Amino acid sequence: MTRAVAFVIFPDFQILDAAGPIAAFEIAARFSPGAYALSVRAARAGEVASSSGARMTAEALGDAAALDTVIIAGGEGSRAAMAPGPLLDFAKGAATGARRLASVCSGAYVLAAAGLLEGRRATTHWARTRDFTRRFPDVRLEADRIWIRDGNLWTSAGITAGIDLALAMIAEDLGDGVAKRTAQQLVVYQRRPSGQSQFSALLDLDSGGRFDALLAWAREHVGEPLTVERLADRVAMSPRNFARAFAAEVGVTPAKAVERLRLETARSAVEGATCAIDVIARRSGFGDPERMRRAFVRAFGQPPQVLRRAARL
């Protein structure tokens, strides 16, 4: 059975949002000939310029019910693409007519504008969280996820997460073996699970402001107790005022920031070092291996031992 997969673009789309998943499905079809028929669609047929200026040639949107899977790219043009018109109508048709409807990165704006994500779980690029939540408060946004499936609606995080979403779809269609071979051909690290955090966001704590020096110091002292009181003392603030100001400026609480720094240190050691997990837990400030394991599962969707094995494949 050949599955028709359409990739929807619009002016100022992010080219990797489309090209990454296209490549994944194309390579999967090499391992399973005839599995997919791929097309690029747009509200107006012809060349469509991405935000980089590079162009893709698209055909008209056509009948969504004739398609198996529809994947809508994101990009700077996604906000303009929210306007009522053929694209939103096509998305609505795909939600009921196609087997799967998906978005990459800020393509979730299009799905939400079409009313398809109301009351549903979804994700998008971490940098769009506040704006998306403001615009669409009824969407159950889980912005710290690589991809999410809610029924026949799939959403994914920024840019390369579209490849993770595509690999998950390929695994559903053709099995884990084909998905794994596709990932190897793409030379991606591994097929990341839905529950994994957006790791680039996890490391992006620098506020560009008064707490950058404190964060740099904390990175160098992750193995030590880093209480709110100790951090506040470093910047000559009361604990209460510090906690409030830090959360407002950095975007997370001091405790969450410290956990992220410890996760950064611990993951690097788990994947690159040979010392025991309990030693890493102690050196990175978790102290207890079980505490570190729970933090890894929350952040990366996998315990330390699994990440270590994957790094050695």
Let me know if residue 168 belongs to a domain: yes
Say whether 275 is catalytic. Answer: no
Minimum mean pLDDT range among 219-228, 248-257, 283-292: 248-257
Counts for the chain of helices (H) and strands (E), in that order: 14, 10
> Does 227 share its domain with 91?
no
Closest CA to 226 of 217, 211, 304: 217
Residue 35 clears pLDDT 80, i.e. is over it = yes
Helices (H), the chain: 15-31, 86-97, 108-113, 129-135, 161-174, 176-186, 199-203, 212-220, 228-234, 239-250, 254-272, 277-283, 289-300, 304-311
The CATH number for 210's domain is 1.10.10.60
105, 168, 214, 280: the catalytic one is 105
Co-location of 257 and 122 in the same domain: no
Lowest-confidence segment of 136-150, 157-171, 197-211 by average pLDDT: 197-211
Residue 21 is part of which domain span?
3-186
Which has the higher per-residue pLDDT, 191 or 122?
A: 122
Overall number of domains in the chain? 2
Confidence of residue 209 (pLDDT cuts 50, 70, 90): confident
Are residues 92 and 131 both part of a single domain? yes
137 and 166 co-located in one domain: yes
* Residue pLDDT, tens place only, 67-85: 999 999 999 999 999 999 9
Boundary-marking domain end, from 186, 214, 240: 186
Residue 173 sits at the vertex; the CA angle it makes with 169 and 179, to the nearest 5 degrees, is 65
- pLDDT for res 192: 60
In a domain, 192, yes or no: no
The pairing of strands 147-150 and 153-156 is antiparallel
Verify that 166 and 276 share a domain, yes or no: no
The tens digit of pLDDT for each residue in 97-138 reads: 999 999 999 999 999 999 999 999 999 998 888 899 999 999
Instruction: Answer yes or no: is 88 within a domain.
Output: yes
What amino acid is encoded at 254 in this protein? P
The whole-number average pLDDT for the span 212-220 is 89
pLDDT of residue 201: 47
Same domain, 11 and 83: yes
Report how far residue 286's alpha carbon sits from residue 33's, in angstroms, rounded to the nearest whole number: 49
Question: Predicted confidence band at 96 (pLDDT cuts at 50, 70, 90)?
Answer: very high
Reading phi first (left if > 0) and then psi (alpha if -120 to 50, else beta), residue 27 is in alpha
Tell me, yes or no, whether 162 and 210 share the same domain: no
Q: In terms of domains, do 177 and 228 share one? A: no
Say if residue 191's pLDDT is above 60. no
Is pLDDT at 300 greater than 90 in this prediction? Answer: no
Distances (CA, A) of 54 to 15, 25, 233: 8, 21, 51
Question: Same structural domain for residues 166 and 231?
Answer: no
Which pLDDT does position 80 carry in this prediction? 97
Residues counted in the chain: 313
Residues 263 and 297 in one domain: yes
pLDDT band at 311 (very low <50, low <70, confident <90, very high): low
Which residue type does 168 have? A
Structural domain contains residue 34: yes
Domain shared by 13 and 87, yes or no: yes
Q: What pLDDT band is residue 275 in, cutting at 50, 70 and 90? A: confident
Q: Is residue 193 part of a domain?
A: no
